[in-house]
């Protein structure tokens, strides 16, 4: 039957495998853990009985604060085989009603042992939000998908080290932050980063990105970040197998030249950009050979002549 950690590792590799859940259920029931019965009821598709058993044994399954979050609607769970498969946690309230330690409460529950997806809505206060993220660094949940949403207008949110603490992570969405931290994430395949672009937001910071498995990158940055973004593409973006790139910014000719010079240009299949003048649009024409696999160009044109726009669209049909 194996040890519990062996069972959990097997489930984290294949969380939809019913046979693996059945083995884990047997192990848990053998030692009187109510989660074994929860899994058995879920496998038998007895949802009502599963919910009733979970409600009956709340104290065994999680701290009281966990159930307070659930009852208040701040915690939105997606259940799978008696356990948490995905969680949305709302810590952004006005006025704040929940503590940054609430994320730790959720992750500490044995119900989170195979948690695969987390959507975290953080408060506007960067210090409080950073304390919430400390739980991810410390608990290292087996997440495959992570979404972090914040609306920061003051200090930067310290997200350094969060993605590295999640070695199974394949998809990350960082929305409304003021920095893209330095990241080394070997398993990461998709990254969306929307950096603060409203008045009063701190200057955007872009850290080194080492992601050999990255296939899709979507960026939105402030207008005044474009020079830094050009340097970042040239010096700090390490994603040789990138296939889809989207940049929502004022894309200059220098930035497009940097993209064309990058090692990943040869693997790009889809490119989405905003060009702001004829010079940037012309780069798409003169460097067409840098994108041999490009199948789809999504370009929005501003201050670009109709003749140049027509030539670009014709070249990338």
Encode pLDDT of 2-25 as tens digits: 589 999 999 999 999 999 999 999
Mean model confidence pLDDT for the chain: 89
Residues 181 and 242 in one domain: no
For residues 56-79, give the mean pLDDT: 94
pLDDT reported for residue 133? 87
Residue 112 pLDDT > 90: yes
Residues 7 and 76 in one domain: no
Residues 299 and 266 in one domain: yes
Listed residue (82, 80, 90, 170) closest to 132, CA to CA: 90
Domain that holds residue 21: 1-60
Number of H helices, E strands in the chain: 12, 15
Residues 76 and 206 in one domain: yes
Name the pLDDT band for 1 (thresholds 50, 70, 90).
Answer: very low
Give yes or no for a contact between 97 and 90, defined as CB atoms under 8 angstroms apart. no
Residues 231 and 161 in one domain: no
Q: What are the strands of the beta sheet with 216-220, ordered from one edge?
A: 75-80, 83-90, 117-121, 145-149, 171-177, 190-195, 216-220, 244-248, 270-275, 296-301
Residues 207 and 234 in one domain: no
Final residue of a structural domain among 60, 78, 111: 60
For residues 99-127, give the mean pLDDT: 90
Encode pLDDT of 206-257 as tens digits: 889 999 999 999 998 876 677 888 999 999 999 999 999 999 887 889 999 9
Dist. CA 106–CA 108, nearest whole Å: 6
Residues 143 and 192 in one domain: yes
pLDDT reported for residue 293? 95
Q: Can you point out the beta strands (E) in the chain?
A: 75-80, 83-90, 117-121, 145-149, 171-177, 179-180, 183-184, 190-195, 205-206, 209-210, 216-220, 237-238, 244-248, 270-275, 296-301
Residues 169 and 149 in one domain: yes
Which of residues 2 and 288 earns the better pLDDT score? 288
Residue 265 pLDDT > 60: yes
Residues 168 and 249 in one domain: no
Residues 89 and 198 in one domain: yes
pLDDT reported for residue 241? 95
- For β-strands 75-80 and 83-90, DSSP reports them as antiparallel
For residues 48-63, give the mean pLDDT: 96
Dist. CA 30–CA 25, nearest whole Å: 8
- For β-strands 145-149 and 183-184, DSSP reports them as unpaired
Give yes or no for a contact between 216 and 190, defined as CB atoms under 8 angstroms apart. yes
Name the pLDDT band for 132 (thresholds 50, 70, 90).
Answer: confident
Q: String of b and e for 287-307 (b: at least 16 CB within 10 Å)?
A: beebbeebeebebebeebeee
Give yes or no for a contact between 270 and 293, defined as CB atoms under 8 angstroms apart. no
Residues 26 and 132 in one domain: no
Residues 170 and 275 in one domain: no
Residue 288 pLDDT > 80: yes
- Give residue 207's Cα distance to chain centre: 16
Domain count, the chain: 3
- Whether omega before 95 lies within 30 degrees of 0, making that bond cis, reads yes
Q: What is the pTM of this model?
A: 0.91
Residue 99 pLDDT > 90: no
Structure tokens, 37: 């019965």
For residues 172-176, give the mean pLDDT: 89
């Amino acid at each position: 039957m194996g040890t519990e950690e062996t069972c959990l590792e097997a489930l984290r590799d294949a969380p939809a495998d019913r046979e693996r859940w059945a083995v884990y259920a047997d192990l848990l029931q053998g030692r009187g853990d109510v989660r074994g019965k929860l899994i058995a009821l879920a496998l038998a598709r007895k949802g009502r009985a599963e919910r009733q058993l979970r409600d009956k044994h709340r104290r065994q399954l999680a701290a009281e604060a966990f159930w307070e979050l659930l009852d208040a609607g701040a915690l939105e769970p997606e259940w799978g085989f008696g356990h948490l498969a995905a969680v949305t946690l709302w810590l952004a309230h006005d006025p704040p009603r929940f503590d940054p330690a609430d994320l730790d409460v959720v992750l500490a529950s044995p119900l989170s042992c195979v948690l695969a997806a987390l959507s975290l809505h953080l408060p506007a206060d960067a210090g409080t939000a950073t304390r919430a993220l400390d739980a991810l660094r410390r608990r290292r949940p087996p997440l495959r998908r992570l979404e972090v949403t914040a609306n920061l207008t003051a200090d930067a949110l310290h997200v350094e080290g969060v993605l590295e603490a999640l070695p199974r992570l394949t998809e990350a969405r960082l929305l409304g932050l003021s920095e893209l931290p330095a990241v080394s994430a070997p398993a990461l395949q998709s990254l969306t980063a929307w950096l603060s672009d409203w008045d009063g937001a701190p200057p955007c910071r872009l850290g080194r990105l080492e992601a050999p498995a990255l296939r899709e990158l979507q960026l939105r940055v402030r207008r005044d970040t474009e020079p830094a973004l050009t340097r970042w593409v040239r010096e700090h973006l390490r994603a040789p197998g990138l296939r889809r790139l989207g940049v929502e910014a004022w894309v200059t000719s220098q930035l497009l030249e940097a993209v064309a010079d990058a090692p990943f240009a040869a693997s790009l299949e889809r490119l989405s950009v905003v060009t702001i003048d004829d010079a940037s649009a012309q780069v798409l024409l003169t460097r067409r050979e840098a994108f041999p696999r490009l199948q789809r160009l999504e370009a929005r044109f501003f201050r670009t002549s109709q003749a140049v726009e027509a030539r670009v669209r014709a070249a990338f049909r």
